[in-house]
Amino acid sequence: MRVWLLPLALLAGASACTTDPDEPIATSEGPFYTRSGGSFDKLSLTPTDGAGIIESEAALGAALEAAGVKSRFRAFVEDKNGVCGLGAKRQNATVLAIEALSDSPTFAPGTYTQKQSPAPGQVDLSITKLDATCGSDQQDYGTESGTVTITSVTATIVTGTFDVTLMGGAGTLSGSFNVPLCPSLRSESCDP
């Protein structure tokens, strides 16, 4: 049972980030999210924005620290603009979310495997349709098995690929992501 990605932990403050639609990300590494295969057909995501954050041990909370997690990467790709500045939980948004856990204080590239409880080397990927109160309204598809490979981590961007089987017979999903990093990212409050 996937319980450690949603609801999302509260992170303080908004910050300047280059995910505004008038300021597309300055990279030749590709779009925020590319679906390259799979049989998942329950939700469609036409990404207009994406953002990620790397958090150190001090920001993780007691449960993750107790599990030996020393850093975490979280990414959100949505069909709404302003993820970095306005927040990652938006009314009526479709959201692809990734959370990868590491036992290193410095989050680094590597292959992370889907598991059912939080521990270093594990990852969770979900695709969710939020309603007007930011509830999932029964349209929340978490990962049953699979991997997410982080291919590059820089000071400004994280790239990777995913190949997962979704829970409840929802099918498979594979593709790639390319998200700019934000200094902080609100992910608890429900924003318009």
Question: How large is the average pLDDT for residues 130-134?
Answer: 91
The backbone torsions φ and ψ at residue 35, rounded to the nearest 5 degrees and listed phi first, read -90, 125
Provide the pLDDT for residue 127: 95
Average pLDDT of the chain?
84
Provide the pLDDT for residue 189: 84
Provide the pLDDT for residue 29: 52
Question: Are 71 and 56 a contacting pair, CB within 8 Å?
Answer: yes
* pLDDT(145) > 90: yes
Which has more pLDDT, 172 or 14?
172
Burial 82-117 (b: 16+ CB within 10 A, else e): bbbbbbbbbeebbbbbbbbbbeeeebeeeebebbee
Instruction: Return the bridge partners of 124, or none.
Output: 99
* pLDDT(24) > 90: no
This prediction's pTM: 0.84
Residue 173, both tokens: 């999903």
pLDDT band, residue 30 (cuts 50/70/90):
low
Question: How large is the average pLDDT for residues 129-157?
Answer: 92
Per-residue pLDDT of 81-122, as tens digits, reads 999 988 888 999 999 999 999 999 999 999 999 987 889 999
